[in-house]
Amino acid sequence: MENLIQKLLIELGEDTTREGLQKTPGRVAKSLKILTEGYHQDLHKIVNDAFFEHSSQDIILVKDIDLFSLCEHHMLPFYGKCHVAYIPQGKIIGLSKMPRIVNMFSRRLQVQERLTKQISEALMEILRPQGVGVVIEAEHLCMKMRGVEKQNSKAITSSMLGIFHSESTLRQEFLNLIH
């Protein structure tokens, strides 16, 4: 990967022998491995059987989960907040597992729409709750630095599954809680 990055720098017109760029190919390779580590993670290993019996049927919400990802179209960052809620059906998951699941899917080349759906479907798969709601609010550098260059734009995506999809009052309660 370092050789490819060095070739890229040369194609951009850079002198890869200058002091500031000599170690750049290695640093970029290391960064890209971290930023795409989600490809090498497994949902079931992340959750690690952190399930607990619970009889509540109220909304469980973790909001404002920081997320960082790379746009698959331009490989530029997008970043924002993810809000994840579910209504249990006999079991709950350790709260720290939800940000770990968000990280697993966001640390890949992504589009926000798919990322939102992957998080909600993963929680439905492992928890089998009554419903899951996921909302992501993100800013995309591919829209800020290039293209339309709109500095104040945010993209908001949602995925509502199960009872959050079918019951508008629960969906509205979730949306009220995150705002």
Active-site residue among 6, 112, 118, 130? 112
82 given a catalytic annotation: no
Active-site residue among 82, 110, 118, 140? 140
130 given a catalytic annotation: no
The answer to whether residues 140 and 78 touch, using CB atoms and an 8 Å cutoff, is: yes
The answer to whether residues 163 and 130 touch, using CB atoms and an 8 Å cutoff, is: yes
71 given a catalytic annotation: yes
20/10 Cα distance (integer angstroms): 14
DSSP H or E run through 70: strand 60-71
39/75 Cα distance (integer angstroms): 15
Active-site residue among 14, 41, 74, 167? 74
Active-site residue among 57, 73, 125, 172? 73
Alpha helices (H) along 57-149: 97-106, 112-127, 141-144
Active-site residue among 89, 142, 165, 173? 142
List all residues 6 or more positions away from 32 whose beta carbon is below 8 Å from its beta carbon.
Answer: 1
Active-site residue among 22, 40, 72, 125? 72
Residues with active-site annotation: 71-74, 112, 140, 142
